[in-house]
């Protein structure tokens, strides 16, 4: 596959175009963290306000991933990704021009929408690669794109300093952030003209109705409503945190909670509208067209413990190394970057293992268990440790975390093809649910050795519980290693063969 990967032809060209779109969306989404201290000094923000901005950065990604999943299934990944990247320029410019905390909060909330771009590429890659190769292809997309967070950390401080001549000799963080949005918008236009949703002759399958996930049994409908509750609950949690820093008063907090309750009821109505024929008995799915929503629920839980923990750990790891080993902020940031750096190989590695082991279920279970053990070992790291040993342990733990992410999305496109966008959106949103919950917990713990240990122990225990669920409840998707996706017509198979021959 390596020779094909570097050929930039056929489906590999689409893969490269799409992972780079994801890369830029993550550069935009994570452009706050490396410039946070400079921004704090420039605008006179307090530490709680900076932490609140970090929470705002992931908040709207939760509903955005669900909504974008629906738009994706309806309009296709090319149009959806292009529009999202062009949109990125608006909140980036707004944040770069902000002069007060409320404007910063609003713009960071809007920037969280850009972080939802991940789910778009999941469907795009699945359209171009067969099930037997889906793990590695999705892993390359996710891992190389996810490296955008590390790229922000490494490059934006230098870019801001390089532009200092335009800011009176001081770090020009405003222009650096604005440029990330401009770059994303320009590439959005390029992506629109260079990408296409499917190979020639292949039909892009869409759900019959939009607005909620299509389920295939009545029991799964009620299960869907239950699993939608945390997606609203985490926004209620964020509102409570915003009230704690004075952004919302008590009356405003209650109003926000009321609005969220109405949103949940509206979401439940849309789910009913999509599935009303099933619930009223007018429609019954044949056995071969059914899927089990409990499998989606388990994948949502796996993404809480892997991607949710990654977002949380990336946010706190520099402070952990700085406090534990008495490092300066620059050194602590570079050491902590080893965690995100592993994305280049870990996520594709997880997808490749899933492709080659012959069981996507057991790949998921083993990697999640390894992640849990890794976090429990990290809870034992203290000032008495040799720093290189702590870094090696951090990188080993991050391998299991990110390989687990790759394994999760090696399964997602195989659950039910015509609603892949919505399933990917829900699973991806649960990653942000985990991030907000973990970051809220971290903000409430003491910033000492005991607090850090309790944080890592929580991550480890949660991962081991989910590993148990994967081992005993997750099922191997039908056609996990087939040459063609579920639902593809025989007429398209000849087209695929012709396209493959043309590539070779």
Query: Position of tokens 């829900």?
Result: 426
Please tell me the distance from the alpha carbon of residue 469 to that of residue 467, in angstroms, as a whole number.
5
Please tell me the distance from the alpha carbon of residue 213 to that of residue 228, in angstroms, as a whole number.
11
Both tokens of residue 239?
A: 């509102």
291-336: per-residue pLDDT in tens? 999 999 999 999 999 999 998 888 788 888 888 998 876 677 778 7
Residue 153 lies in a domain: yes
Number of domains in the chain: 1
Residue 504 lies in a domain: no
pLDDT score, position 491: 41
pLDDT score, position 418: 82
Residue 503 lies in a domain: no
445-486: per-residue pLDDT in tens? 888 888 999 999 999 999 999 999 999 999 988 777 766 766
Residue 1 lies in a domain: no
pLDDT score, position 502: 42
The region, left, alpha or beta by phi > 0 then psi within -120 to 50, assigned to residue 274 is: alpha
Residue 189 lies in a domain: yes
Q: What is the CATH number of the domain that holds 321?
A: 1.20.1250.20
Query: Position of tokens 């985990």?
Result: 434
pLDDT score, position 25: 94
pLDDT score, position 64: 87
Residue 162 lies in a domain: yes
Residue 125 lies in a domain: yes
Residue 249 lies in a domain: yes
DSSP assignments along 260-324, one per residue: HHHHHHHHHHHHHHHHHHHHTTS----GGG---HHHHHHHHHHHIIIIIHHHHHHHHHHHHHHHH
pLDDT score, position 278: 93
Radius of gyration in angstroms for the set of CA atoms belonging to the chain, rounded to a whole number? 22
pLDDT score, position 2: 57
User: Are the C-beta atoms of 455 and 159 separated by less than 8 Å?
Assistant: no
- Range of 403's domain? 8-194+203-498
pLDDT score, position 486: 67
Question: Which residues, given as ranges, of the chain have pLDDT below 50?
Answer: 490-499, 501-504
CB neighbour list of residue 332: distance below 8 Å, 6 or more residues apart: 318, 319, 321, 322, 325
**Helix (H), strand (E) at residue 96:** helix 89-97
Please tell me the distance from the alpha carbon of residue 17 to that of residue 187, in angstroms, as a whole number.
10
Query: Position of tokens 């605008």?
Result: 43
Please tell me the distance from the alpha carbon of residue 480 to that of residue 407, in angstroms, as a whole number.
12
């Amino acid at each position: 596959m390596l020779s094909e990967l570097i050929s930039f032809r056929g489906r590999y060209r689409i893969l490269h175009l799409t992972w780079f779109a994801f890369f830029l969306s993550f550069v935009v989404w994570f452009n706050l963290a490396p410039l946070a201290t400079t921004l704090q000094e420039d605008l006179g923000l307090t530490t709680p306000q900076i932490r609140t901005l970090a929470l705002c950065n992931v908040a709207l990604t939760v509903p955005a991933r669900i909504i974008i999943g629906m738009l994706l299934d309806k309009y296709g990944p090319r149009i959806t990704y292009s529009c999202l990247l062009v949109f990125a320029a608006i909140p980036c410019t707004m944040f770069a021009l902000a002069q007060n905390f409320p404007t910063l909060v609003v713009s960071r909330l809007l920037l969280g929408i850009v972080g939802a771009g991940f789910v778009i590429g999941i469907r795009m890659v699945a359209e171009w690669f067969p099930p037997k190769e889906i793990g590695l292809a999705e892993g390359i997309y996710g891992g190389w794109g996810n490296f955008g967070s590390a790229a922000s950390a490494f490059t934006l401080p230098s870019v801001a300093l390089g532009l200092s001549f335009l800011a009176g000799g001081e770090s020009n963080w405003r222009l650096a952030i604005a440029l990330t949005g401009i770059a994303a918008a320009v590439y959005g236009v390029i992506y629109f003209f260079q990408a296409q949703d499917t190979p020639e002759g292949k039909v892009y399958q869409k759900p019959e109705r939009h607005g909620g996930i299509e389920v295939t049994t009545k029991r799964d409908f009620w299960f869907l409503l239950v699993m939608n509750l945390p997606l609203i609950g985490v926004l209620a949690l964020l509102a409570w945190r915003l009230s704690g820093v004075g952004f919302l008063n008590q009356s405003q907090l209650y109003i926000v909670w009321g609005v969220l309750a109405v949103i949940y009821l509206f979401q439940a109505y849309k789910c009913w509208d999509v599935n009303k024929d099933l619930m009223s008995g007018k429609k019954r799915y044949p056995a071969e067209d059914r899927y089990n929503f409990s499998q989606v629920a388990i994948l949502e839980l796996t993404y809480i413990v892997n991607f949710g923990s990654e977002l949380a750990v990336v946010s706190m790891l520099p402070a952990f190394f700085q406090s534990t080993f008495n490092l300066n902020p620059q050194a602590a940031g570079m050491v902590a970057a080893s965690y995100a750096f592993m994305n280049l190989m870990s996520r594709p590695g997880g997808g490749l293992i899933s492709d080659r082991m012959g069981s996507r279920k057991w790949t998921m279970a083993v990697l999640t268990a390894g992640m849990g053990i890794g976090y429990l070992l990290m809870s034992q790291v203290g000032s008495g440790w040799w720093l290189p040993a702590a870094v090696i342990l951090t990188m080993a733990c991050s391998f299991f975390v990110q390989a687990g992410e790759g394994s999760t999305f090696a399964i997602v496109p195989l659950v039910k093809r015509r609603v892949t966008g919505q399933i990917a959106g829900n699973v991806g949103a649960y990653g942000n649910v985990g991030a907000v919950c973990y970051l809220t917990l971290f903000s409430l713990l003491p910033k000492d050795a005991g607090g850090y240990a309790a944080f890592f122990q929580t991550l480890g225990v949660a991962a081991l519980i989910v590993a148990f669920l994967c081992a005993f409840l997750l099922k191997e998707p039908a056609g996990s290693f087939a040459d063609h996706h579920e639902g593809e017509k025989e007429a398209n198979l000849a087209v695929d063969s012709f396209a493959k021959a043309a590539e070779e």
